[in-house]
A and B are shown apart, each in its own frame.
Chain A
Amino acid sequence: GNSVTQMEGPVTLSEEAFLTINCTYTATGYPSLFWYVQYPGEGLQLLLKATKADDKGSNKGFEATYRKETTSFHLEKGSVQVSDSAVYFCALTTDSNYQLIWGAGTKLIIKP
């Protein structure tokens, strides 16, 4: 079946550090891949997405590249800020399944 695996958190970094949050997936068909972010006390919101292999999604300085050969969609940011502290979720859908399949989420803590 379809599944998403994320690196466990919390991930704690200092401000201006480089961020990588790993996400790998298992899917039948041709999945679309998403990163959602949940700031403290809020609902989830889309951060970025990629709908086919080799696509790069980007937003707010975050990037992720859809790598079909490694079934990965790792989230990266070159210089994190305290305001990036949140929980990040990787997710996928496939053409045959309109439901989002979610990873467990990775909590990111940025210290000043």
Chain B
Amino acid sequence: DADVTQTPRNRITKTGKRIMLECSQTKGHDRMYWYRQDPGLGLRLIYYSFDVKDINKGEISDGYSVSRQAQAKFSLSLESAIPNQTALYFCATSGVDSTDTQYFGPGTRLTVL
């Protein structure tokens, strides 16, 4: 079984709809991350969480919110989706050292029409 799972894998929605992307991990890590990938821009950090009670905004948090329901679960919400939020979204998890590997989920491809 995969260490980091994301649901759904693909989603098409309409402008103005609320969308939730879910992430679960079995690595036992405290730290979890949500990234957005756009062609030619690499990955940009949306939110990160160092533990259940510590949630922080990343580089591009506007229009997004998150919930850390448990150590293993970190969900990303788009309260009112807009077309420029069409992208590939990745969840990741890591240990507490800055040299630790980040483990990524398979990604969710979101299209906002």
Q: Which residues of A contact B (CB under 8 A)?
A: 32, 36, 41-46, 49, 51, 89, 93-95, 97-100, 102-105
Contacts and interface: CB of A to CB of B under 8 A. Distances in A.
B74 interface: no
B106 A43 contact: yes
Contacts of B42: 89, 102-105
Interface of B: 4, 31, 40-45, 48, 50, 58, 90, 92, 98-99, 101-107
A57 to B, nearest CB: 11
Contacts of B92: 43-44
B99 A99 contact: no
B15 to A, nearest CB: 27
Contact of A32 (B40, B48, B98): B98
A32 B90 contact: no
9 contacts: A43-B90, A43-B104, A45-B104, A89-B43, A93-B98, A93-B99, A98-B98, A102-B42, A102-B44
A43 B107 contact: yes
A32 B97 CA distance: 11
Contacts of B105: 43
A74 B92 CA distance: 24
B109 to A, nearest CB: 10
Contacts of B90: 43-44
Contacts of A93: 98-99
A43 B104 CA distance: 6
B104 A51 contact: no
Contacts of B48: 99
Contacts of B45: 99-100
A49 B43 contact: no
Nearest to A8: B40
Contacts of A51: 99
Contacts of A95: 98
Contact of A100 (B40, B102, B103): B102
A42 B102 contact: no
Contacts of B98: 32, 93-95, 97-98
A27 to B, nearest CB: 12
